[in-house]
Amino acid sequence: MAGDSPEAPVGQAWTTGLCDCCDDCNSCCLTFFCPCVAFGLIAETLDRGSISCAIAGITYCWMRPSTVLPGMHTMYSWSYRQKLRATFGMAPEPCADCCLQLFCDRCSLSQMYRELKNRGVNPANGN
């Protein structure tokens, strides 16, 4: 991935805003109607295939507030937001990221998906 080098500058900004969902209608629809699939694709991409899209997506769905403990999916998806930040040298924002995942989960997933695409790593292609 683009941010693999240890020299990746820290403090880079997001290439897309949290509410820029309509800039990419395909990823917007995917994250809003099938968040488990979107999360699975993001996780598989960031983990370089060490976890499959299906396993990550099923785990994410299983952790949704209606099925297990409230907030578990927030922690799970938050860890991948942090991983995305680390991969591309973006400054960590633990509190803000956790709040985004808790209160704006689908917007945050959409932003993460777009960020990967904008940085040349298309989660839909598995690369």
* Domain segments of the chain as ranges: 22-125
Per-residue burial over 73-103, b = 16 or more CB atoms within 10 Å of its CB, e = otherwise: bbebbbebbbebbebbbbeeeeeebbebbbe
Q: Average pLDDT, stretch 56-69? A: 77
More confident residue, 124 or 127: 124
Q: What is the pLDDT of residue 67?
A: 58
Q: What is the pTM of this model?
A: 0.84
Q: Express each pLDDT in 86-113 by its tens digit.
A: 999 988 787 788 888 888 888 999 999 9
H-helix or E-strand spanning residue 31: helix 25-33
Q: What is the pLDDT of residue 100?
A: 83
Residue 111 in tokens = 């932003």
